Amino acid sequence: MTLSSTAAATSLPETYDPLNEQVKQNPYPYYAMMRASEPVKYLPHMDTYAVATYEGVDKVLKDHKSFSSQHFWPELLGEYDPVPEVPPMISMDPPNHMHLRKLANKAFMPSKVAALEDRARAIATELVEGLVAKYGNEGEFDWVWEFTALYPVTVICEVLGVPTERRAEFKVWVDDLLGAANRHAYGPERLAEIRKHSDELRQFFEELYDLRKQDPQDDLISTFITAEVNGETMSRLEVLQMATLLLIGGVETTTNLLGCTMVELRRHPDIYARVQADHSLIPPLLEETLRFNPVVQMLFRHTIEDTELCGVKIPKGKAVMPLLGSANRDASKYANADVFDIDRKPEAPMMSFGQGPHFCLGSFLARMEARVALEVVFSRLEKVEPIAEADEVVWLDSYFARGPHTLPVRFKAR
Ligand code: HEM
């Protein structure tokens, strides 16, 4: 069946509209159409140019002289940015961006991440044991709400140095801050709540900064306060903004990676059986999930000058949306790109963590967290399987973030 006959039967839009409910549930057929016939597509209702091919996305992410990141943060958080005085590095262009990047890199090197593995394992184990204690040796729980949404936020609390007794409050603030991305859809009551929690988060980081400045500990806030590259350090506001960026960048993304992985396991029982039997297949499983159904579907840039991309002229100052989810399915880079294949050999670097100067700083941490979580789950649980068919999963109501909104699973402990 062609997309247009499907569209006629189910009232799907004929062309890509990221705001459309049904497109959000499954954008991939639209990406394929664009790659084939319109690699750079102007979306008049968003006044944005969507970029669908691998080549186009790669160019946008690497060519920071033509495509700026400066609008990224203001678009995401708007007036709810807890630290509006300074931009985070994700919203800065080189060369200024390099100053913060070099300082922050120190905290995310593979050796630092490896040192966190035992704590991540202890946190995942505590969560799974909590579920077995609550539901018994066999039963049902929600993979998203009772496991994956709690795990990365707890790891990041640990990493940042948030005291255990403040973690419940902290989770509420983080959830609300992430909600600010959908602020245009909210009424005054919800917006007032987000304002309050954004202020409380700021206040909390201010206090933590003061404590760690006086008495540095083995945590990330202390590392940021003391980190020095070529005699330069981070200002107080830069540290506060960096902490906020890590929350936005590192919490929901890892949650969604674990959600998307479980959906693929439901879709492929053969792969599920192989991974259960051989945990060394967890890393390739995660890599293929990241490629096939990336949790960050797109990024945001704007043109610094009149530009041409894949033969399309884009005027200065226009918003550009490189579609990572589409680039990862580009058949010119990946053989059988629409097939989920954990035995795939690296063909081209995937776009899921971005490319170029802003390449995800937390990629090692995210991969370690997700691997450890699945190792713990598969070791403790003999079976864990979503109840709904993979095709019935309800995805988040977002065109930016990809992950199941909820995922009830049946489990049996060993
Ligand atoms: C599956 C998990 C994750 C995915 C898919 C992901 C994806 C991305 C992407 C696509 C970018 C590029 C943004 C751009 O080019 O504008 C990015 C940047 C970034 N990510 Fe991640 N991320 C993940 C986890 C994390 C974690 C765990 C952290 C840290 C706690 C983190 C921190 C950051 C930071 C700080 C940046 C900005 C880097 C810069 O501007 O130089 N991310 N991430």
pLDDT at 175: 82
The DSSP H or E segment spanning 226 is: helix 220-226
Distance 13 CA to ligand 1 centre (A): 31
Distance 369 CA to ligand 1 centre (A): 14
* Weakest mean pLDDT among 7-21, 135-149, 229-243: 7-21
Average pLDDT along the chain = 92
The closest residue, in CA terms, to atom 20 on ligand 1 is 360
Which atom from ligand 1 is nearest to the alpha carbon of 152? 27
Distance 87 CA to ligand 1 centre (A): 16
Tens digit of pLDDT for each residue in 285-300?
999 999 999 999 999 9
Distance 134 CA to ligand 1 centre (A): 34
Pairing of β 312-314 and β 307-309: antiparallel
Which atom from ligand 1 is nearest to the alpha carbon of 91? 40
Q: Is the pLDDT of residue 6 over 50?
A: no
Distance 290 CA to ligand 1 centre (A): 13
Kindly state the tokens that stand for 84: 């509006």
Distance 23 CA to ligand 1 centre (A): 24
CA angle 310, 93, 329 (to 5 degrees): 40
Which atom from ligand 1 is nearest to the alpha carbon of 295? 5
Distance 61 CA to ligand 1 centre (A): 13
Can you say whether the dihedral through the CA atoms of 70, 201, 104, 59 is positive or negative? negative
Q: Is the pLDDT of residue 406 over 90?
A: yes
Question: Which residues, including other chains, have CB under 8 Å from residue 235's CB and lie 6 or more apart?
Answer: 86
* Weakest mean pLDDT among 33-37, 81-85, 87-91, 172-176: 172-176
Pocket of ligand 1 (CB under 6 A): 61, 69, 72, 89-90, 101, 156, 245-246, 249-250, 253-254, 257, 295-296, 299, 352-354, 358, 360-362, 365-366
In the structure, what pLDDT confidence band is assigned to residue 1 with cuts at 50, 70 and 90? very low
The closest residue, in CA terms, to atom 3 on ligand 1 is 253
Which atom from ligand 1 is nearest to the alpha carbon of 365? 27
Q: Is the pLDDT of residue 3 over 70?
A: no
Residue 270 exposed, middle or buried by CB count within 10 Å (0-12, 13-18, 19+): exposed
Tens digit of pLDDT for each residue in 369-383?
999 999 999 999 999
Distance 91 CA to ligand 1 centre (A): 12
pLDDT at 184: 79
Q: Is the pLDDT of residue 182 over 80?
A: no
The closest residue, in CA terms, to atom 19 on ligand 1 is 360
Q: Which residue has the tokens 């954008």?
A: 27
> How far is 59 from 56, CA to CA, in rounded Å?
5
pLDDT at 10: 56
Which atom from ligand 1 is nearest to the alpha carbon of 359? 12
DSSP state of 394: P
CATH number of 3-413: 1.10.630.10
Residue 75 exposed, middle or buried by CB count within 10 Å (0-12, 13-18, 19+): middle
In the structure, what pLDDT confidence band is assigned to residue 210 with cuts at 50, 70 and 90? very high
> How far is 21 from 4, CA to CA, in rounded Å?
17
Mutate which of 360, 365, 368, 396 to test ligand 1's pocket (most atoms within 8 Å of Cβ)? 360
Mean pLDDT of 295-306: 96
Name the residue ranges covered by the structural domains of the chain: 3-413
Q: Is the pLDDT of residue 4 over 50?
A: no
pLDDT at 11: 67
Distance 42 CA to ligand 1 centre (A): 26
Mean pLDDT of 255-267: 97
* Weakest mean pLDDT among 159-173, 211-225, 385-399: 159-173
